[in-house]
């Protein structure tokens, strides 16, 4: 009897030791996965292994960069855009996450002015009301998205790009900045009250960036006083080669955004998909890294787009850049998306990426191979 008792005690001890070993070697589902830090172009790149969830047959990826902005731009136009009457907004919010796994949506607000030298910035029949914008933000947040608010100013007439706005005298510049603030202020307040995460103080004002330091600082202070979230200024890619003005270093600007419509080829042609990633890294990725190093703050790809055509990499800012090579080619578009995502999601100086644009052909990824590429990367462990 004593032998049996001793044998039972021994079995119990062995069992406890085995159980202890299992606990020490096991990893709970909510524990972070082991990480490996690599380096590319002088910047650390985080690679995370997926976590196996106990009791399931699928792998649940742990987000290596939970604050990275996996974004899509979803523009709407009209006074009731984004509001309860906008069924397209509601439909899109239901489609975006399942189709492309985006966690961020950029909401655009269109403004206009009469000429490059006009000092009055106005709303138009295409501009949603502040109430509609607030409702749209609230609905998106309730659907699980983060929201980035982007103002888009166009000029009436043939010279529509906001980058051509410029003034010769300080008085004119002050009038323009005051008018811009007066028009934008209700939307800044609406974004703040509705809980938007991020807001751009302006978009692609290339002709104003190098001048009017006092007015820029005043604008940043005015917006920062109302909006407590992250602030950016979104420059055009052509400004990356200029000396950066001092106001871009303002501590209230969390990041500097860039509209990245850099052509990867100098003629209308199809680039073999296998060649796109190296081109993207050299012509776009490395200049963005250099910009972040100069700014000493993160950089955000605030707007990037590729047509679903054979010439997608030629003059990507054009709705149709060529004739014979403008035939549909969604694989070329998807390869361009993939190259951008591969670089952005593994470069720690980049804060996020927003593609133009949901339901806006010929750029829209909806139903194309580009949507699959977005889903693959946005749902990957690197995201």
Residue pLDDT, tens place only, 151-182: 999 999 988 999 999 999 999 999 999 999 99
Per-residue pLDDT averaged across 230-247, rounded? 96
Q: What is the pLDDT of residue 182?
A: 98
Position of tokens 């990245």? 260
* d(C-alpha 182, C-alpha 209), whole Å: 20
| Whether the Cβ atoms of residue 165 and residue 202 lie closer than 8 Å to each other | no
Query: Could you tell me the CA-to-CA distances from 205 to 166, 232, 236 in Å, in that order?
Result: 9, 13, 8
pLDDT over 70 (residue 23): no
Tally of helices (H runs) and strands (E runs) in the chain:
10, 12
Q: Write down the CATH superfamily of domain 70-378.
A: Glycosidases (3.20.20.80)
* d(C-alpha 338, C-alpha 376), whole Å: 9
Per-residue pLDDT averaged across 60-79, rounded? 87
pLDDT over 50 (residue 36): no
pLDDT over 70 (residue 213): yes
pLDDT over 50 (residue 94): yes
Query: Could you tell me the CA-to-CA distances from 287 to 121, 160, 219, 280 in Å, in that order?
Result: 32, 27, 27, 10
Strand partners, 232: 200, 255
The pair of three-digit structure tokens given for residue 320, joined into one six-digit string: 């149709």
E strand map for 116-254: 146-155, 198-203, 230-236
Which residues, in sequence order, are CB contacts of 289 under 8 Å at separation 6+? 41, 42, 43, 347, 349
pLDDT over 70 (residue 323): no
Cα 278 to its chain centre, rounded Å, is 22
The torsion region of residue 144 among left (phi > 0), alpha (psi -120 to 50) and beta comes to left
| Whether the Cβ atoms of residue 374 and residue 357 lie closer than 8 Å to each other | no
% the chain with pLDDT above 70: 83
Neighbours of 92 (CB within 10 A): 20
Per-residue pLDDT averaged across 115-139, rounded? 98
Q: What is the pLDDT of residue 191?
A: 98
Q: What is the pLDDT of residue 325?
A: 67
Closest CA to 273 of 237, 306, 225: 306
pLDDT over 80 (residue 15): no
Q: What is the pLDDT of residue 65?
A: 87
**Pairing verdict, β 230-236 and 198-203:** parallel
SS3 state of residue 299: strand
| Whether the Cβ atoms of residue 352 and residue 69 lie closer than 8 Å to each other | yes
Position of tokens 């009017």? 212
Global pTM reads 0.84
Which residues, in sequence order, are CB contacts of 14 under 8 Å at separation 6+? none
pLDDT over 50 (residue 361): yes
The pair of three-digit structure tokens given for residue 137, joined into one six-digit string: 């933000």
Greater pLDDT, 61 or 34 = 61
pLDDT over 70 (residue 40): no
pLDDT over 70 (residue 146): yes
Closest CA to 163 of 250, 45, 242: 242
Neighbours of 322 (CB within 10 A): 16
């Amino acid at each position: 009897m004593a032998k049996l008792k001793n044998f039972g005690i021994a079995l119990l001890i062995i069992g406890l030791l085995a159980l202890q070993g299992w606990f020490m070697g096991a990893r709970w589902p909510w524990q972070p996965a082991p990480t490996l830090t690599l380096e590319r172009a002088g910047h650390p790149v985080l690679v995370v292994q997926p976590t196996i969830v106990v009791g399931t047959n699928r792998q649940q990826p742990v987000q290596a960069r939970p604050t990275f902005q996996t974004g899509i731009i979803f523009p709407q136009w009209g006074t009731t855009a984004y509001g309860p009457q906008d069924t397209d907004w509601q439909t899109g919010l239901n489609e975006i996450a399942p189709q492309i796994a985006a966690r961020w949506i950029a909401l655009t607000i269109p403004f206009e002015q009469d000429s490059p030298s006009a000092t009055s910035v106005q709303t138009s029949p295409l501009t949603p009301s502040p109430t509609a914008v607030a409702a749209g933000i609230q609905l998106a947040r309730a659907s699980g998205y983060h929201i980035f608010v982007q103002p888009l100013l166009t000029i009436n007439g043939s010279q529509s790009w906001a980058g051509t706005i410029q003034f010769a005298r300080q008085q004119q510049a002050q009038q323009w900045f005051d008018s811009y603030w007066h028009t934008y202020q209700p939307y800044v307040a609406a974004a703040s009250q509705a809980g938007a995460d991020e807001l751009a103080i302006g978009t692609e004002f290339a002709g104003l960036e190098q001048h009017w330091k006092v007015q820029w600082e005043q604008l940043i202070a005015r917006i920062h006083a109302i909006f407590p979230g992250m602030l950016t200024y979104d420059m055009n890619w052509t400004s990356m080669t200029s000396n950066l003005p001092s106001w871009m270093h303002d501590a209230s600007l969390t990041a500097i955004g860039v509209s990245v419509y850099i052509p990867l080829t100098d003629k209308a042609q199809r680039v073999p998909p296998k060649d796109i990633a190296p081109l993207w890294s050299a012509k776009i990725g490395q200049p963005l890294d250099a910009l972040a190093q100069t700014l000493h703050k993160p950089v955000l790809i605030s707007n990037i787009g590729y047509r679903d055509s054979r010439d997608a990499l030629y003059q990507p800012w054009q709705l149709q850049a060529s004739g014979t090579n403008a035939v549909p080619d969604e694989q070329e578009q998807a390869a361009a998306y993939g190259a951008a995502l591969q670089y952005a999601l593994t470069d720690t100086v980049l804060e996020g990426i927003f593609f133009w644009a949901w339901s806006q052909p010929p750029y829209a990824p909806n139903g194309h191979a580009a949507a699959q590429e977005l889903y693959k990367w946005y749902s990957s462990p690197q995201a």
